[in-house]
Structure 1
Amino acid sequence: MSSPDISLVIRPRGRPIKNLPETITVSPDGSASQIFERIAQAAKFSKDRLRVTKGSDGTPIPNTGNVTVYQTGLRNRSAVDVKDLGPQIGWQTVFLIEYFGPIFIHPLVYYGRPFIYGTSAPPSELQKLTLIMVLLHFLKREFETLFVHRFSSATMPFQNVFKNSAHYWLLSGVWMAFWIYSPNSAAARASNPLITYAGLALYVFGELANLSSHYTLRNLRRPGTTDRGIPQGFGFNIVTCPNYMFEIISWIGILLVSWSHSTILFLIFACVPMGLWGKKKERRYRKEFGSKYKPKRFAILPGIY
């Protein structure tokens, strides 16, 4: 026998939301997502723009189907605060915009060498190879965004797209391309073929292993849900996030081919957030799966971090 419906008091926060209801009625046995649906339906407002928190302590209410209203701690006549997060943009769209930056900028600088550097000398074989490697990497990311990844959140605030894109458009785009395709770069001069072959081997291994990890993570989540299983398989018994580990291996391969300090800087800036995300994911796995999950000592790099 299901529990009787309860009434929640709605309190606005921040910018006003027209037609925001004063109260809503929900089932305590129903999913927490019904709170968002009831508010959005009454206010004729997009639920993706809503941030709902408990009035008692400010704890966020998850817009998910695997947590009930009762489990959030809400009871009859509990107050919830509702905030408008502003215009939203889909996570998939954000990823597509981010990765398009290097795809557009690297060929632009490569073929614009006469105008940028004032040189008529053709690019070296290493510069050409670096261009191909970078383009294939980000084209793979675009493919994964469209056909592999499943996103736990539908949207994010529109203004964040500029902040998120800066890393790729400026650092892996303008910064890397300018130094790699310069006539004075290390890649413009002769190199050790053995190092180049080693870089290519690491790159191919890293890219394929990274793709495999993403398919493993995709298969843990049922379509249309945020439910997850325990990740297992190649790399997952070594670190929490082998997809990040293989990503780093791939970029080390690009570094060995390009021999550019700009690649080192991009790799450092990429490792910091990946390490933080990996640690956060490890904590979430331990909390979510308990004794079923085998804790990992390292998040992204075995023996290092």
Structure 2
Amino acid sequence: MASPSVSLIVRPRGKPIKGLPETTTVGPTDSAAELYKKIAASSKFSVHRIRITKGSDGSAIPNSSSVTIQQTGLRNKSTVDVKDLGPQIAWETVFIVEYLGPLIFHPLLYFLRPIIYNTSSPPSELQTLSLILISLHFIKREYETVFVHRFSLATMPARNIFKNCAHYWLAAGLNIAYWIYSPNAPTAGPSNPLITYAGVALFVIGELGNLSTHYTLRNLRRPGSTDRGIPMGLGFSLVTCPNYMFETMAWLGICMINWSLSTAIFLVLAVGQMAAWARKKEMKYRKEFGDKYKRKRFYILPGIY
């Protein structure tokens, strides 16, 4: 005998949603994702643009194919609230656009040095090396975005892309590029081979270590799933987020090569943000995995934070 259907009362949360049905019907064994699809189709929205919560207590109903309507606690005549999250943009697109900024500004200012700085002197070895390393860093990031990362969230509000891009387009792109390719920059002078080689070594170790940890994190999550296991492997016994640790190493190597205050400022800003993310990740791991997870004392930098 088939299970009786569940009739839900639907109401908008916040501003009205054109086309939102007053009621909808689902089966108790249907997935919560099916509820999202039905309401999104009626509203002519993407499923990622809406958030559905229970009218009784405001708790979120996940857009998940592994959670049934019955498991959400919804029953016949229950009320659900639907919120319009506004225009969305895919996280993959956001990352691609973010990292594009430095890949535009650095070659642009490097090759247009004679015009921008009114100089006839050719770029120095350190300026050329800086261009190569920074470009390689962001090319690697673009590669990871397309071929490595699996995103737990499909989209973000489209308006946030301007804030996200500012960090990379301005701080890592225009700001660093303008100062390090100047004929008066420290990079315009002779290099100290020992410091330069050490910087390159740090950069290479940092980039390869970062790539390795990203593959580790990728393999923890099955395609199309948000479930994941406990991360183990290179660096994970030292800190919560070794990907951030290796990222810091790579940028420290770049700092040792160009000795630019603008690069140092970007590194400080980046480490501060990554440290906050890493702490949240540690708290999330502790809550999600409980006693199975070996708690970390340091989140991003061994012995420091």
State TM-score, norm by structure 2. 0.94
The alpha-carbon deviation at position 29 of structure 1 amounts to: 4.6
Which residue in the other structure is 2:122 paired with?
Answer: 122
Counterpart of 1:183? 183
Offset of residue 68 of structure 1: 4.2
Q: Deviations over 1:98-157 (max 9, x none)?
A: 001000100111111112111111111001100000000000000001111111111122
**Partner residue in 2 for 1:236:** 236
For 1:62-81, what aligned pairs fall within 5 Å after superposition? 62-81=62-81
User: 1:30-41 alignment to 2 at 5 Å?
Assistant: 30-41=30-41
Gaps of 5+ in 1: none
Amino acid at match of 1:110: Y
Equivalent-residue separation in structure 2 for 1:205 and 1:230 (angstroms): 24
Q: Secondary structure at the match of 1:159?
A: helix
Matched residue SS, 2:257: helix
1:18 equivalent in structure 2: 18
Q: State the partner residue of 1:102.
A: 102
Specify the alignment match of 1:260 in structure 2.
260
- Partners in 2 of 1:140 and 1:278 — Cα distance? 21
Aligned equivalents of 2:277, 2:151: Cα separation in 1:
15
Q: Verify: 1:9 aligned to 2:36, yes or no.
A: no
Deviation at 1:39, TM superposition (A): 1.0
Taking the aligned partners of 2:299 and 2:56, their CA distance within structure 1 comes to 35
Residues of 1 paired with 2:152 and 2:281: CA distance? 14
Larger mean Cα displacement after TM superposition, 3-12 or 112-121: 3-12
The 8 Å contact of residues 66 and 227 in structure 1, kept in 2 or not, is answered as no
Between the aligned partners of 2:66 and 2:274, the Cα distance in structure 1 is 27
Point out where structure 2 has 5 or more consecutive residues left out of the alignment.
none
**Whole-Å separation in 2 of the counterparts to 1:91 and 1:40:** 20
- Render the CA deviation track for 1:238-276: whole Å, top value 9, x for unaligned: 111111110000000000001001111101111122111
Q: Distance in 2 between matches of 1:255 and 1:69?
A: 53
The 3 A distance-change label for structure 1 pair 159 and 9 is same
In the alignment, the residues of structure 2 paired with residue 65 and residue 96 of structure 1 have an alpha-carbon distance, to the nearest angstrom, of: 28
| TM-score, normalisation: structure 1 | 0.94
Residues 18 and 137 (structure 1), Cα distance of their counterparts in 2 relative to 1, 3 Å cut: same
C-alpha deviation, 1:303, in angstroms:
1.6
Provide the residue aligned with 1:209 in structure 2: 209
Return the alpha-carbon distance in structure 2 between the equivalents of residues 31 and 278 of structure 1.
32
- Please identify, of 105-114 and 31-40, the stretch whose mean Cα deviation from structure 2 is larger: 31-40
**Contact conserved, 1:2 with 1:29, CA < 8 A, in 2?**
no
Match for residue 304 of structure 1?
304
* Greater CA drift, 179-188 or 61-70: 61-70
What is the match of residue 164 of structure 1? 164
The aligned residue for residue 286 of structure 2 is 286
Q: What's the offset of the Cα at 1:16?
A: 2.6
What is the CA distance between 1:61 and its match in structure 2? 2.5
Counterpart residue identity of residue 45, structure 1: F
Residue 193 of structure 1 aligns with an amino acid whose one-letter code is P
Aligned to 1:221: 221
**Residue of structure 2 in register with 1:149 after alignment:** 149
Seen in structure 2, the aligned counterparts of structure 1 residues 76 and 206 have a Cα distance that, compared at 3 Å, is same
The one-character-per-residue Cα deviations of 1:168-223 (angstroms, maximum 9, x if unpaired) are: 00000010001111111111112321111110000000000100001111111111
Report percent identity of matched pairs: 65
* Partner in structure 2 of residue 272 of structure 1: 272
Relative distance call for 1:280 and 1:35 in structure 2 (3 A) is: farther
Distance 2:24 2:293 in 1: 38
Alpha-carbon distance between aligned partners in 2 of 1:26 and 1:148, rounded to the nearest angstrom: 36
Task: Give, in whole Å, the separation in 1 of the partners of 2:246 and 2:106.
Answer: 23
Over the aligned positions, Cα root-mean-square deviation in angstroms equals 1.8
